[in-house]
Structures are given as C-alpha cells and as structure tokens.
Amino acid sequence: MKPKHQTTPPRLARRSFVGGVAAGIATASLAGRVHAASANDEVRIAVLGAGGKGSQLASYLHKTRGAKVVIVADPDIGRAETTAALYQARPVIDLREALDSPDVDAVVIATCDHWHCLAAIWAIEAGKDVYVEKPLGHNQWEGRQVVDAAAKHGRIVQLGTQQRSDPIQAQVREFLHTEKTLGEIQYVQANRLGLRGPVGKRAEPLPFPKHIDRELWFGPAAVEPIYRNQLHYDWHWDWNTGTGEMGNWGVHILDDVRNVAYQDSQDLPDRITVGGGRVAWNDAGQTPNVHFALLETKTFPTMIALSNLPVKPGEKGAWHVSSASSPDQWPANAPGSGYVVVCEGGFYLGQRGNGQAIDRDGNVMRKFHENNVIIADHLQNFIDAVQTRDSSTLNAPIENGHFSTGWCNLANVAFRAGGSFSQEQLMADTEVAAWNHLVGGMTSHLSKFGVDARTLKSCPTLVHDTKNERFVGAHADLANRFLSREYRPGYEVRAIS
Ligand SMILES: NC(=O)c1ccc[n+]([C@@H]2O[C@H](COP(=O)([O-])OP(=O)(O)OC[C@H]3O[C@@H](n4cnc5c(N)ncnc54)[C@H](O)[C@@H]3O)[C@@H](O)[C@H]2O)c1
C-alpha cells in the first residue's frame, strides 16, 4: 500500500480534537470498541514522537505480535514521514489527529519528556491505551494525574522501563531475598557514570527550524529561546523540557533498584539529600552533569552517583566512585551504568541484561544473563495486556512507573531547591557512613578538572510525605514549588477528579 503523506495543518487537527475528544464523543465510542477487543484483534498504534526512540519502537512494533503502526506523529514532519513510510503508516504533525482517529486503539509516546503526561492523559481520555516512555512525569504531580486518569478511564497504561520485562530480575530477587545467599542488604549504590559532552552556548538563539511546528513542539512548556546548538535530543539538559541525566538514565537504574533490591516495597523515598552541579563545561545546558543523592526509605538507603565527565580532562574512561570505607572493600568492576547491592556477605552487581554476585573476597558466586530482547518483550507485554484487557499482567504498570520516576524527580527537586554547597550540611541529618564516602569520592574527582567543590550546589535533607506526595518540614515550601510546573494555556495538565 502506498503511504499517505498527509500533513494536516495543526489548526485543522485542533478543531477536530475539540469537536471529538474534548467533547467526550470519541471517548465513549472508542472506549466501547476497544473494550470489545479480543486476543486476536490487531491493536492499531499511533507512535507519538519519531526521534531516536520513537523510530526504534516503531521498528519493534512492526514485528510485535498483534500490533500495527498506523500513524506516526511528530511536529518535525520530516521525521514523521520518514518513520511512517517504513510501515505504510500515515504521518501527521499534530498528535491530536491521532487521538481523534477511530482507527487508533493505542498510542506509544516517545516525545520529549515535557509532553509525556499531557499526551498520555489526552490519549486516555480519548479511549486509547498508552505505552509511555520514561520518565513518566516531567514533574511528579503530573505523573500522578496520569495514574489517576488511567484508573478513572480503565485504560491499559505501561511505562517504557523495559528492564521490567527482563526475566533476570525475578531470578535476582529470588537470589537476594529468598535464597539470601549474600545475607542482609545494607544499602545500594546506583551509578550512572557515563560520558557526555557540552551542548554548545550560542550568543544568539538557535533559529527554530522552519519545518518543525514550534507551537506543538513546546506544547505545555514555555516558549523560550534556545541557546544550545541543536533542538533535538539535547532538550534533555534544559529544565523547561527535560529532566537531566537523573530522569534519563537514572530512572532505569533506580527502577531496577526498586524492583530487585526493594521488591517494590518502597514507593517513594522518605528523605532526600542531594548535591551536584553543571561543571567543567561552558555550555547552555542547565541540568547537573555531576549529581549525587541519598534516598532514604523505611528500610535500607540507596545512593546514586551520577557523572557525565571523563576520568580526567581529555580522557575516555568514566569515573569510578566507591561508597566503601576503603578501596579493598569495594568491587573493582562495579558497573558504571548499574547498581551495587551491598550485603553483609558480598555484593550483587546489576546492570542492563546481566549481573553477578561476588563475595567479599571478590570471588564470583553466581552470574545472571538472559539473551532476550527486552524492548521487544516489553512491547509484547503491553500489546498482550491491551488485547486481554488485563492490566494486572503489565510488567511496568503505570503507578509503579510513577514511583520509579519519582525517585529521580525528587532528586531533581532537591537539586533545584538547593543553595551553596556545604559538605557538613549534606552529612548533618544522616547517619549513613557510606554517603560520606560517596560524596568524598565524587568531589575528589572534580579537582582533576580544576573545579572547586564549593561551586556545586547542595540541599539539606528534605523530608517527603510519601502518602501525600509532598515535602513536609524544613524547606518544604521551596521544594514543593518544583513538584509541578506552570503550563502554557491550551496545554494544561488538569487535576483528575
Ligand atoms: N526506554 C529507553 O531505554 C529509552 C531510550 C531512549 C529514549 N527514551 C525516551 O524516549 C523519549 C524520546 O527520546 P529521543 O531520544 O527519541 O529524543 P528525540 O529528541 O530524538 O525525539 C523526540 C521527538 O519528539 C518529538 N516531539 C516533540 N513534541 C511532540 C509532539 N507534540 N508530538 C509528537 N512528537 C513530538 C520531537 O520533534 C522529536 O522528534 C524521551 O522521553 C526519552 O527519555 C527511552
């Protein structure tokens, strides 16, 4: 079939959306139709966002049993057309055209972070099921609205944290918690010690590319001049549109930690202590390239060490940071993008697709590895749940994804609410000795870049009421301001009642 290259002007699509979805007409008819779906019915998908991730997901969906890509939406119409043409799908500029379409049963959202929740809520209200990329919320409050909307409208909603579909996670849970070969868990150190570079710093704003619909690209975010060199992808490092490395890689790793080490028993951390900064680069990015957080729960604590800098200026290797009291107490091969579960009798070293347990002398006790393609499995898990209408079979149900995202969002809130750096302040309200070692390890790396640790930011320990998802106590007012955002008129996320 020849692809239809329809580039409906956004205004037309908007009118159509208002007359259909917002008026509730499409919602009722579509919801009825989808509820009648059987395990054999094809699930017709609109992929929203055709960048690196959206185009990858479309290629997997093409091979997913029971799925068919029918629309690809992107305000960068060139991107939408390129991906749509591969699957004989229809390219559109405005995602609302996909939401209005009775030919769409579900959406896969791979837009920039600032669009995830609004797109998900609009889709849910239009009677579509939703697979939404991580992080769920660009801010924590809007993620909760997605969870409530999914429950209210009975939709199937999964987060794109694909490691949840890796069978090794269940094996590791069994090993750590049932067999208990390593003894009690003392704490977890999560790492994202991976290299990136500066994003440029222009004297004049980046001319917005003429072929991209600016209004739609910004959507709920403020329309602001951009001083970095490229529009796509590097929106990650601007608070207006992104969530930094914490919401990018951090969410995968902390989601693994919640799943494997806590067995999902801890929804959100109770206490958050954070330091970090954007250092050594003279660029227009805002989010930290060095970020460390202590996340305390009702059981053992987790720390995350994040750095995008090399081991030394001009070198290729990434940082190696230990939270142990001496180097011989720390595994030499602790993963740079992964986590170490520190137990009485040894360590579990976890990363995407594999892991190993080692004893305190460095001997390998057990290796974990699976050869499955986890993205394919994660999408299949979503499609199967859509067909059976059974959200209990989802591997990454949306409330769970909201919580994992929250660990990152709260670490970002603490960074943004922070002030001048004080190591004493970082230690003042916590007894966790390993945190002291980790902060020392992080700050000592900075000296190789001529960066004085005092130029970082830090935030005193924030107390978080996990039930109400608000900060309480000292500094709570300042921190709570970062739990939501100001939405642009026409693109508001509204509280779900
Ligand atoms: N699960 C994973 O392992 C994984 C990996 C990579 C990226 N991601 C996530 O996928 C998302 C996209 O990342 P990326 O690397 O593809 O970024 P990208 O910048 O390459 O692509 C984002 C695309 O979204 C488009 N977009 C913006 N507003 C839109 C709208 N209103 N409707 C439709 N499209 C819109 C942009 O034009 C762009 O083409 C991010 O949220 C990222 O965190 C997840």
Which residue, judged by its Cα, is nearest atom 27 of ligand 1? 217
Cα of 237 from ligand 1 centre, angstroms = 13
**What would the pLDDT profile of 412-422 be if each residue is shown by its tens digit?**
999 999 999 99
Predicted pLDDT of residue 370:
85
Helix (H, G, I), strand (E, B) or coil at 463: strand
Angle (CA) 235-426-300 rounded to 5° is 90
Q: Are strands 354-359 and 129-132 parallel, antiparallel or unpaired?
A: unpaired
d(CA 69, CA 338): 33
Cα of 363 from ligand 1 centre, angstroms = 41
Predicted pLDDT of residue 371:
77
Q: Pick the atom of ligand 1 nearest to 233's CA.
A: 19
Q: Pick the atom of ligand 1 nearest to 55's CA.
A: 16
Domain architecture of the chain: domains with CATH: 10-164 (3.40.50.720), 167-371+398-483 (3.30.360.10)
**Distance between start and end Cα atoms, the chain:** 44
Q: To which H or E segment does residue 263 belong?
A: none
Which residue, judged by its Cα, is nearest atom 21 of ligand 1? 51
Predicted pLDDT of residue 246:
98
Cα of 273 from ligand 1 centre, angstroms = 30
C-alpha distances out from residue 365 to 42, 60, 349, 422, Å: 45, 35, 11, 40
**pLDDT values of the chain reduced to their tens digit, one per residue, 497 residues:** 223 323 333 333 333 443 333 333 333 333 334 443 556 689 999 999 999 999 999 999 999 999 999 999 999 999 999 999 999 999 999 999 999 999 999 999 999 999 999 999 999 999 999 999 999 999 999 999 999 999 999 999 999 999 999 999 999 999 999 999 999 999 999 999 999 999 999 999 999 999 999 999 999 999 999 999 999 999 999 999 999 999 999 999 999 999 999 999 999 999 999 999 999 999 999 999 999 999 999 999 999 999 999 999 999 999 999 999 988 899 999 999 999 999 999 999 999 999 999 999 999 999 999 878 999 999 999 999 999 999 999 999 999 999 999 999 999 999 999 999 999 999 998 889 999 999 999 999 999 999 999 999 999 999 999 999 999 999 999 999 999 999 999 999 999 99
Contact 391, 157 (CB under 8 A): yes
Cα of 115 from ligand 1 centre, angstroms = 9
Predicted pLDDT of residue 38:
56
How many CA atoms lie within 13 Å of 450's alpha carbon, on the beta-carbon side? 3
Give 379-382 contacts, CB < 8 A, sequence gap 24+: 379/57, 379/60, 379/61, 379/64, 379/67, 379/108, 379/131, 380/64, 380/65, 381/158, 381/165, 382/106, 382/129, 382/131, 382/156, 382/158
Short-list 251, 324, 224, 286, CA closest to 416 = 286
Contact 242, 236 (CB under 8 A): yes
Short-list 480, 443, 488, CA closest to 463 = 480
Cα of 77 from ligand 1 centre, angstroms = 14
Contact 331, 340 (CB under 8 A): yes
Predicted pLDDT of residue 39:
63
Predicted pLDDT of residue 329:
93
- Torsions phi, psi of 75, nearest 5? -65, -15
Predicted pLDDT of residue 40:
66
Cα of 48 from ligand 1 centre, angstroms = 8
pTM: 0.94
Find the residues whose C-beta lies inside 6 A of ligand 1: 48-54, 73-76, 79, 95, 110-113, 115, 133-134, 160, 162, 216-217, 219, 232-233, 248
Helix (H, G, I), strand (E, B) or coil at 377: helix
